[in-house]
Structure 1
Amino acid sequence: MRHFEHFPVGSTYDLGVTRLTSEDIVRYARDFDPMPFHLGPEAAARSPFGGLVASGWHTGAVVMGQFVRTLLADSACHGSYGMDEVRFLRPVRPGDQLRGRAVVEEAAPHSRRPDTGTVRFVVEADNQHGDTVHRMRTRLLFGRAVAEIRSAGL
């Protein structure tokens, strides 16, 4: 299990790759972001994008899924303060492969909770061409390993 101490500043984590299909894009858009350029190729062709593109929120959800599965699910994460920045930098199209990465930008003990630390991550995704398509900054709370050892009476 990863604790606060496992996230030193500058650490970089590969979050894996997810390929988006036209079906993925349309399914997400129907439920969560029904803009015409996300729903089908005909309307999308007439848009400024010139074709079907994923919702930025869909891209963010994919990258968040990578982040959770790779780093957070097996950690002492106590939640998040939210996101300080979310950017949809380039359109994501059917067939794009999103490779996520997380970089620790800041890490510090919590000012009022000695058993907790805060970690600010920059989480990004690149497409298969190496273009960064998504970026978010988020600050998370993690239990400290030292606190866990103390609470176990060791």
Structure 2
Amino acid sequence: MRHFEHFPPGSTYELGATRLTTDDIITYARSFDPMPFHLDPEAARRSPFGGLVASGWHTGAVIMGQFVRALLADSACQGSYGMDEVRFLSPVRPGDELRGKATVEDASLHPRRPGTGTVRFLVEAVNERDEPVYRMRTRLLFGCAQAVGTASGVQTARS
């Protein structure tokens, strides 16, 4: 199980790859983002995209799934403070393979919650042509592997 101490700043983690199909894109759009360029290939052809594209939220959901399966599901994660940045950088089209990566930008012990620390991740995805398609910054709360108390009012932890 991964704890706060397992995420030092600068660490990078490959999250896996997911290929999106036309059916994936249309099915997601029907439920969550029913814009014509996500639902109808003919309407999408006439759009500024020139063809069917995945919802940015669909792209984000796919990458979040990779992030959870690769790092968070088997961790002492206690939740998220939210996203500080979300960017949809390039259209995602049927057949694109999305490869996610997470980089630890910062990690620090929580000032008011003994035995926990926060980790700020930059989560990015590229397609099979290595074109950036998605970027998110998020801060998560993790339990420490072993809390050893406080010294002079400053929380310390040991791995």
For the superposition of Structure 1 and Structure 2, which TM-score range results when normalised by the shorter chain?
over 0.9
Measure, in 2, the Cα distance between the counterparts of 1:31 and 1:107: 36
Q: TM-score, normalised by structure 2?
A: 0.92
Residue in structure 2 matched with residue 151 of structure 1 by the alignment: none
State the secondary structure of the residue aligned to 1:114.
coil
Residue in structure 1 matched with residue 15 of structure 2 by the alignment: 15
Q: Would you say 1:99 and 2:99 are equivalent positions?
A: yes
Q: TM-score, normalised by structure 1?
A: 0.95
Residue in structure 2 matched with residue 78 of structure 1 by the alignment: 78
Measure, in 1, the Cα distance between the counterparts of 2:19 and 2:80: 27
> 1:18-52 CA distances to partner (integer Å, 9 max, x unpaired)?
00000000000000000000002100001000000
Residue in structure 1 matched with residue 64 of structure 2 by the alignment: 64
**Deviation for aligned residue 1:147:** 2.7
1:78 partner amino acid: Q
2:129 partner amino acid: H
Q: Percent identity?
A: 78
Measure, in 2, the Cα distance between the counterparts of 1:33 and 1:118: 32
Residue in structure 1 matched with residue 144 of structure 2 by the alignment: 144
Aligned residues: 148
Measure, in 2, the Cα distance between the counterparts of 1:147 and 1:16: 32
> 1:106-151 CA distances to partner (integer Å, 9 max, x unpaired)?
0000011121000000000000000110000000000000139xxx
RMSD across aligned C-alpha pairs, in angstroms?
A: 0.9
User: Between Structure 1 and Structure 2, which shows a larger proportion of strand residues?
Assistant: 2
